[in-house]
Amino acid sequence: MKSKSDPSRQIAASDVTVKDIGDVIAQDTTRQRTEIKDINDKYSLNLIDTENLGKNEHLDIIQLDSFEYEKSFQSASVKGRLKEHLNYWQEIDTNTFVLDIIKNGYSIPFITTPPVMFNENNKSAYNNAEFVSEAISDLLKNNCIVQVKSRPHVVNPLTVSVQSSGKKRLILDLRLVNEHVWKSKIKFEDWRVALQYFDRNNYTFKFDLRSGYHHLDIEQSCHTYLEAGFVINTEKSVWKPCQELIWLGIIWNSKTHTIHIPDKRVLDLTLSIDHVVNSLPSISARNLARITGRIVSMSPVLGNVTRLMTRNIYRLIESRVSWDYTFKLSDQDVINELLFWKVHVSKLNVKCLSDYKIPSVVMYSDASSFACGAYSCQLDDKIFHKMWSEDERKRSSTWREMYAIKSCLETFQYQLVGKVVKWFTDCLNCIHIIQTGSSKPDLHQLAMTIFSICFMLGRWTEFHKEKDKSLKGLLFKLPEIVLKSKAQNTVKKYNYAFRSWCKWCKNYDSVNSMPATDYHVSLYLIYLMQNECSSSKIEEVIYSIAWAHNIAGYNNPCASELVKKNVAEGAKRQLSRPCSKKEPITPEILTQLVNRFGSTENLLDKRIVTMCLIGYAGFLRFSEIVNIRACDIQFQSTHMSIFIEKSKTDKYRQGSCVIIAKSNNNIHVQLLV
């Protein structure tokens, strides 16, 4: 088998065939290669004995699975090295299958005999004709291939892979031949397996195998690794144990117990995105696929967000006519995904391997055909529930489950800031879609909304940037402390008012709830005025929007002259009403209450009368009275004291003691208490 020649381009690929079957060491070729781009680090030249093709039930194969060509290095022959070290493989009790391959070569398990084929070289081979000729000359020189005079049974195309660094690799494309070969499933150990053994403060080293290059001198103590017959790529090997190592395109740091993408790969991605964005609206399918490939390759560090935030890009790529087809991009969703990665790839570029946190909030949600609900013990036993509308009932069960999660997150989002949340749902498909997105627009939109809520707002994205574990522990306490800057009832009131503002904003595509503009806030206030809200409600909305923006680190839109001095003042003038003062409680009214209910045996009546007397004598609010416990009251000969644990005027929760003096009045509070 060989590749087609092209004399005009001086490509020597036409002279490739087999010299001695069994003389060259083979490796397993049953791996399915669906596309050339799937071949990452090792490239193969599979050469079949054309004399035996179609005559025998099985065919012998030669696979140079590690050939790569670089102009700056001279290659060295590796022909027969494994066979020369056959004794070593026998001494370590290698299984008979491997020993037979080393000794006799690998026999391809053909299902059917490939037909006669003559395939054109791929475009990349023509574009790199000089490199192809030089690479094939090297193969001939090292006895890896031989020149033939007649055309083989099958002529396979040559391909050249060019990396971003400029390194070129020659590939013999055997996809058509592999269609006639029996394929066995095989699983290679990857970064997922490595994570199971990568512990904090480990020391690591790596070695790389290379065929066809000079063997560089290495330290004497490392020669034992060469006994197997492999050629070591010392240029890429790191023999001295270290605590930070680049392996599989990932930086493994055992000191911090983290993994992250090298800066060069991140820079290459951002430059590629810049190139595409600057050329909008024209963009080729090939360039778009190159960007998505780089993003997805970072998934070991970035996680499932690489799939979620590339759904729209993939959808556009799949609509291509050819790889060189040029799109006139107008899809804003695709542009938003590109801009997302340009801005956030550096912020997300770290994965803490031992940074497991016990969930601080556990949520449970469920949805039926008529309603949905969610519950958490850690949120003061609060319950979220919603009845479905007629249109919502017609939706799929997956949509209803996801909508329940989305609505609950929107309701409690400001109480969940900075917390680790564990969510329980009975819909497995729902979990998968939230993590990776969906091809169905309505489900994908819900997944994107959930992701946006969880990605946090404003300055809270600093959580993702902080790498120091001790500082992260302090960061997760920050939201709780910030929320305590206001009284609990005030936070509840602001939260309710701000959620109403967010709900109104969702009705308009051009309106953002945060960061908001003073123009849109003013329109919302006018909307409330038209619905006959009170002036106090207007003030509450202004304070709540200002509160949320200040917490998130955004500019306060309510501080502008338009909102503060014009719309707000205009609302007060228009909505103000005369104040109707209530009649005060007098001692005479209290005396009547005591005379009527003080001597009754009904404890409920006595409790009400006592509350009225204490509130009147101590100038207490109702919220202060209802929280008084028996242990808070003490009687003295001249007075009674009541400890008020918290009060509206007690800003820092220090507590206060209220003294009610004894008098000659006939109303005896002590007897009632």
Given this model, what pLDDT does residue 498 score?
85
Check whether 182 has a pLDDT greater than 50: yes
With residues binned 3-state (H G I as helix, E B as strand, rest as coil), the percentages for the chain, rounded to 5, are 45, 15, 40
Given a cut of 50, whether residue 116 has pLDDT beyond it is: yes
End of a domain among 352, 370, 390? 352
pLDDT, tens only, 59-98: 222 232 333 444 444 455 666 777 777 888 788 888 888 8
Q: At 416, list the tokens.
A: 């969940």
Residues 427 and 463 both lie in one domain: yes
In a domain, 103, yes or no: yes
Phi, psi values for residue 656, rounded to 5°: -150, 160
In the predicted model, is pLDDT for residue 620 greater than 50?
Answer: yes
Residue at 149 is within a domain: yes
Give pLDDT tens digits for 485-508. Answer: 777 778 878 888 887 888 788 778
| One domain for residues 24 and 78 | yes
Please check the confidence at residue 659 and state whether its pLDDT lies above 70: yes
Give dist(CA 320, CA 328) in Å, integer.
Answer: 11
Q: Are residues 337 and 382 in the same domain?
A: no
Domains: count for the chain: 6
- pLDDT at position 51 is 31
pLDDT of 214 over the 70 cut? no
Between CA 656 and CA 98 the distance in angstroms is 85
* Residue 6 pLDDT: 37
Q: Which pLDDT score, from 0 to 100, does residue 179 have?
A: 83
Q: Please indicate, yes or no, if residue 68 is contained in any of the structural domains.
A: yes
Hey, which residues does 421 pair with through a beta bridge? 361
Structure tokens at 589: 């009214």
Residues 314 and 424 in one domain: no
The reply to whether 2 falls in a domain is no
The stretch 356-371 carries a mean pLDDT of 81
Pair (251, 267) in one structural domain: no
**Residue 582 included in any domain:** no
Same domain, 244 and 335: no
DSSP helix/strand/coil, 273: helix
CA nearest 538: which of 515, 509, 564? 564
Same domain, 12 and 138: yes
Residue with more model confidence, 480 or 169: 169
Range of lowest pLDDT (482-496, 507-521, 626-640) = 482-496
Q: Which residues contact 221 (CB under 8 A, 6 or more apart)?
A: none
Identify whether 48 is part of a domain. yes
The reply to whether 31 and 167 lie within a common domain is: yes
pLDDT bucket at 44, cuts 50 / 70 / 90 = very low
Q: Are residues 164 and 202 in the same domain?
A: no
Give the CATH number, domain containing residue 623. 1.10.443.10
pLDDT of residue 471: 66
Q: For 259-318, what is each residue's pLDDT tens digit?
A: 888 888 888 888 888 888 888 888 888 888 889 999 999 988 888 888 888 888 888 888
Task: With beta carbons less than 8 A apart as the criterion, state whether 45 and 172 touch.
Answer: yes
Residues 23 and 165 occupy one common structural domain: yes
pTM value? Answer: 0.48
Domain harbouring 396, CATH code: 3.30.420.10
Taking residues 526-550, what's their average pLDDT? 84
Q: What percent of the chain has pLDDT over 70?
A: 75
Q: Are residues 518 and 631 located together in one domain of the fold?
A: no
SS (H, E, C) 120-153: CCCHHHHHCHHHHHHHHHHHHHCCCCECCCCCCC
Which of 451, 475, 499 is at the close of a domain?
475
CA atoms of 504 and 500, how far apart (whole Å): 6
Residue 667 or 374, more confident: 374
**pLDDT class for 418, splitting at 50, 70, 90?**
low
* Residue 79 confidence (pLDDT): 67
Closest by CA position to 277, among listed 290, 264, 288: 288
The helix (run of H) or strand (run of E) holding residue 3 is none
Q: Which of 60-69, 471-480, 504-513 has the highest mean pLDDT?
A: 504-513
Quick one: 213 and 129 in the same domain? Answer: no
Last residue of some domain: 114, 145, 178?
178
120-149 pLDDT, tens digit per residue, is 888 888 888 888 888 888 877 776 666 767
Length of the chain: 673
Residue 481 lies in a domain: no
Cis peptide before 441 (omega within 30 of 0): no
State the chain's maximal CA–CA distance in angstroms. 129
438/663: higher pLDDT: 438
Please report whether residue 581 resides in a domain. no
Per-residue confidence (pLDDT) for residue 474, from 0 to 100 = 65
pLDDT at 162: 81
Range of the domain at 368: 361-475
